[in-house]
Structure 1
């Protein structure tokens, strides 16, 4: 179980931050802007490309590893990730713990053709419309942070804007709830939300039990080619890597190593 005080503090901080932004740009206006955006990029097609796809997450810092020391612009990083063969790009936009921003995601999306995953703690409808305004194609929802009614409501809102929801789970019970909410993409996160502990067996314990029609993503703990192949052998359609790429001096080369592993014959393919 999450430590209530830690989770409550994170969520309340996010909501307070949202309230500040909403005071500057009312919900009605951001909602209208989001519905006027151009078409989203095809997340499902990207996830269904042959092999095990690699999603590289652009992030400036993290509570566990500290600053990543990015030396390139966000646009240049995104171009290196795309050139390295990634299937999607994720961008950390959470401000309070990761020093992320929606403008980073916008800059990344403008530089490449890959679909964009908005990595944030999304708990309010305002955030969904706001993310679409900045080019999000896929939005994560932390299943453990909300009741079932809110989960289903936010999934519907995400899909109504042409985006894809990734239901993030950390327990079999959360995976069951995601399936009950008709999530078509489930991300199994190996990091605990509150204590930032890593369980490298998390995907292996949950992923193989998910229905075959659900697209499955392994989040966290991907360090090398062996981790990519291991996740794929347990049914992952994609893995998300962050520090293992962001910490390298050559982001393109680091992405290429993981992407090549995703094309290894040991990685099953849906196609």
Structure 2
């Protein structure tokens, strides 16, 4: 069993437990449930020359602990003030050291879009995503069927959420792409082997719809890489480890934003 299989197996158990202690009806009574979501697509589209979705991530299965000292509210607020198109927050606890409370705490201190980054496998999680104040949710093609991707996307849109569909290879694109998704992300990290190369995004760009808002994820550490990926058609980039490995992640984002501003 590879890492991704283990994560999904654990997530199924986690969701089963969550559904036993709180109902969807309870989730719809959340203070955040009726709020108007911020649009990540709009911010990426306006960004010149491109946008950055900066991530708060304490650890990962491939890297271990990255930064377990940073305060999520402080970092998220700093990211937003530094000009992030959106802020991604890991809410998986078992493998990434995150939790729902991280996103809820961050939401109170920022007014830019928040991506809930987790392993969505059930409609219950989509209601939960809206209830905790997220604006955008992640769907991973590798763990879902085409029918699930379509159903989950439609439900998310009904609730006012935007959807980031993540693929890793050409097979996943052909089997899982659903045109109504808001953003298509290409993950340069193989979630089964955890090997990373930005060439993955460059190669896949040739077959992806030109009109689709696209971002490249993982393994991005320089503005030169972003320039190369932008030329291939990517409008934004999801970057986490490059920022989180520093004591002040938001300050690292500011440096990137300053360098990208000079190019515009």
Q: Using the alignment, how far apart are the partners of 1:35 and 1:239 within structure 2?
A: 27
Which ranges of structure 2 fall in alignment gaps of 5 or more residues? none
Q: Which residue of 2 aligns with 1:213?
A: 211
Q: Which residue of 2 aligns with 1:46?
A: 43
Structure 1 residues 82-141: Cα deviation after superposition (integer angstroms, max 9, x where no partner): 232211100011121001111101111211111000111111111111011111111111
Q: Residues 262, 159 of structure 1: CA spacing in aligned structure 2 closer, same or farther, 3 A cutoff?
A: farther
Matched positions, count = 263
Q: Does residue 5 of structure 2 align to residue 8 of structure 1?
A: yes
SS at match of 1:122: coil
Q: Which residue of 2 aligns with 1:80?
A: 78
Map 1:246-261 onto structure 2 (within 5 A): 246-261=244-259
Q: Residues 71, 6 of structure 1: CA spacing in aligned structure 2 closer, same or farther, 3 A cutoff?
A: closer
Match of 1:164 among 148, 162, 165: 162
Alignment TM-score, normalising by the size of structure 2: 0.92
Contact 1:59–1:91 (Cα < 8 Å) also in 2: yes
Q: Residues 207, 264 of structure 1: CA spacing in aligned structure 2 closer, same or farther, 3 A cutoff?
A: farther
Map 1:153-192 onto structure 2 (within 5 A): 153-192=151-190
SS at match of 1:249: coil
Match of 1:57 among 52, 55, 58: 55
Q: Residues 146, 205 of structure 1: CA spacing in aligned structure 2 closer, same or farther, 3 A cutoff?
A: same
Q: Residues 208, 67 of structure 1: CA spacing in aligned structure 2 closer, same or farther, 3 A cutoff?
A: same
Map 1:16-27 onto structure 2 (within 5 A): 16-27=13-24
Deviation, 1:27, is 3.1
Q: Residues 159, 71 of structure 1: CA spacing in aligned structure 2 closer, same or farther, 3 A cutoff?
A: same
SS at match of 2:165: strand
CA-atom RMSD in angstroms = 2.0
Q: Which moved more, 1:105-114 or 1:223-232?
A: 223-232
Q: Using the alignment, how far apart are the partners of 1:160 and 1:186 within structure 2?
A: 19
Q: Using the alignment, how far apart are the partners of 2:6 and 2:68 within structure 1?
A: 28
Q: Using the alignment, how far apart are the partners of 2:206 and 2:50 within structure 1?
A: 15
Q: Using the alignment, how far apart are the partners of 2:114 and 2:156 within structure 1?
A: 14
Q: Residues 11, 31 of structure 1: CA spacing in aligned structure 2 closer, same or farther, 3 A cutoff?
A: farther
